[in-house]
Amino acid sequence: MKREIINLTWIAIIMILTVSCKKEKDNEGTKAVFSYVTDGYVTNFTNFSTDATTYEWDFGDNSGATSTKKSPQYVYKTKGKYLVSLTAKKGDIVSTFKDTVNILGPNIKIDGDFTDWEHVEYTYVNEDNQGGTLRAVKTFANGKYLNFLLEGTDQMVLDVIVVHMDTDKNPDTGYKIDWLYPVASGTDYKLEGSFTGNWGGLAKHSGNPADGWNGFSSDIASFDETILYSPPKTVEGKKLIEFSIDRSFLGTLNGSLNFCIIENSSSYTERGSIPATGLPDGKYAIYPL
Ligand SMILES: [Ca+2]
Ligand SMILES: [Ca+2]
């Protein structure tokens, strides 16, 4: 009788082991899975795939960029949602996992530290020897601000700055500066002021090009109310300034807007411009929103 109990116990143990072994077997096999962490445009993927020897990543941004690294880092170029696909393989066994990565872009702060712009692509770069004191501009919009990083020569002072914005993207409405940008202008809002003299403001145009310069309203907001900036600073041979414009003053914005930035001396001689003025095909740059 005792022996029988022992035998039954063994049978029970063997049965449990068999069941757990079978269970283990069900979980076996190649399975793709990943997680990710984003910091601005930089995304670090962590690969949790099981029983795989090779990996293929598609980052979903139509750039054709792929990777065969186990846990790659990828830097996106614009904000947006991207369907990322990881295919894990072991011999003929293939498993694919997809997840949507939401890229919000960098958290730009107007603080005189420009590392927040590191992975932001240039919006516009002047050709060599064009544009005077202004060389290049980066832009990044968030819900509240249009942020700019402006690069100039060591001669960039910004005594007087004029930012022309064609917010309705229609060159036939607003102020036209055909002699500077013959292909297209059409300023609906003009921000004009001084980073050194503490004056200026934002004006709105009537919309009728025939009204010319007189079509601008008196200031709807002061320079300081509209713009936030840090003092120009030279970093690695480039003179840089970052500033942001409060977009709540600019009416409805949709998709993008057109803009140019002009630096004048205090006696209103043009010192620099981006895009460069006076070119036969000159027109405003496009600010993506
Ligand atoms: Ca900054
Ligand atoms: Ca316009």
What is the number of the ligand closest to the CA of 215?
A: 2
Looking at residue 237, what is its pLDDT?
85
Residue 207 Cα, ligand 1 centroid: separation in angstroms?
A: 34
213: CATH: 2.60.40
Judge if 96 and 204 occupy the same domain. Answer: no
Ligand 1 centre from 115 Cα, in Å?
A: 6
Task: Please name which ligand lies nearest the alpha carbon of 169.
Answer: 2
Of 103, 125, 160, the last residue of a domain is 103
Examine residue 27 and state whether it is found in any structural domain, yes or no. Answer: no
Closest-approaching ligand to the CA atom of 230: 1
Q: Look up the domain containing 42 and give its range.
A: 34-103
Residues 88 and 169 in one domain: no
d(CA 114, ligand 1 centre) in Å:
4
Distance (Å) from CA 109 to ligand 1 centroid:
4
CA of 107 to the centre of ligand 1 (A): 9
For residue 118, the ligand closest to its alpha carbon is 1
- CA of residue 41 to ligand 2 center, whole Å: 32
Centre of ligand 1 to C-alpha 242, Å, is: 7
Q: What is the pLDDT along the chain (289 residues), one digit of tens a residue?
A: 455 545 545 544 444 444 443 343 444 689 999 999 999 999 999 999 999 999 999 999 988 899 999 999 999 999 999 999 999 999 999 999 999 999 999 999 999 999 999 999 999 999 999 999 999 999 999 999 999 999 999 999 999 999 999 999 999 999 999 999 999 999 999 999 998 888 999 999 999 999 999 999 999 999 999 999 998 999 988 999 999 999 999 999 999 999 999 999 999 999 999 999 999 999 999 999 9
pLDDT of residue 254: 94
260 with 201, same domain? Answer: yes
**CA angle (75, 80, 82) in 5-degree steps:** 70
Same domain for 41 and 150?
A: no
271: in domain: yes
Has residue 256 been placed in a domain? yes
Q: What is the pLDDT of residue 198?
A: 83
Whole-number Å distance, alpha carbon 173 to ligand 2 midpoint, is 4
129 and 211 within one domain: yes
Counting ligands in written order, the one closest to the CA of 111 is: 1
Is residue 10 one of the residues assigned to a domain? no
In a domain, 45, yes or no: yes
Q: Are residues 119 and 251 in the same domain?
A: yes
Give the Å distance between the CA of 190 and the centre of ligand 2.
11
- 81 and 145 inside one domain: no
Residue 152 lies in a domain: yes
Note the pLDDT of residue 201.
98
Instruction: Note the pLDDT of residue 3.
Output: 53
Cα–ligand 1 centroid distance for 284 (angstroms): 25
Question: Residue 67 C-alpha to ligand 2 middle, in angstroms?
Answer: 44
122 within some domain: yes
Concatenate the DSSP letters of all residues of the chain into one string.
-HHHHHHHHHHHHHHHHHHHHHHHHHH-S-B--EEEEEETTEEEEEE--BS-SEEEEE-SSSS--EE-SSS-EEE-SS-EEEEEEEEEEETTEEEEEEEEEEE-------SS--GGGTTPPEEEEPPTT-SBTEEEEEEEE-SSEEEEEEEE-TT---SEEEEEEETT--TTSSB--TTT-SSB--BSEEEEE-TTT--EEEEEB-S-GGGGGGGBPSPSEEHHHHEEE---EEETTEEEEEEEEEGGGS---BSEEEEEEEEE-TT--EEEEESPSS-TT-BPEEEE-
163 plus 94 within the same structural domain: no
Total structural domains within the chain = 2
Residue 246 alpha carbon to ligand 2 centre in Å: 19
* CATH label of the domain that carries residue 72: 2.60.40.10
Residue 4's pLDDT is 55
Say how far apart CA 92 and CA 54 lie, in whole Å: 11
Ligand 2: distance of its center to the CA of 177 in Å? 11
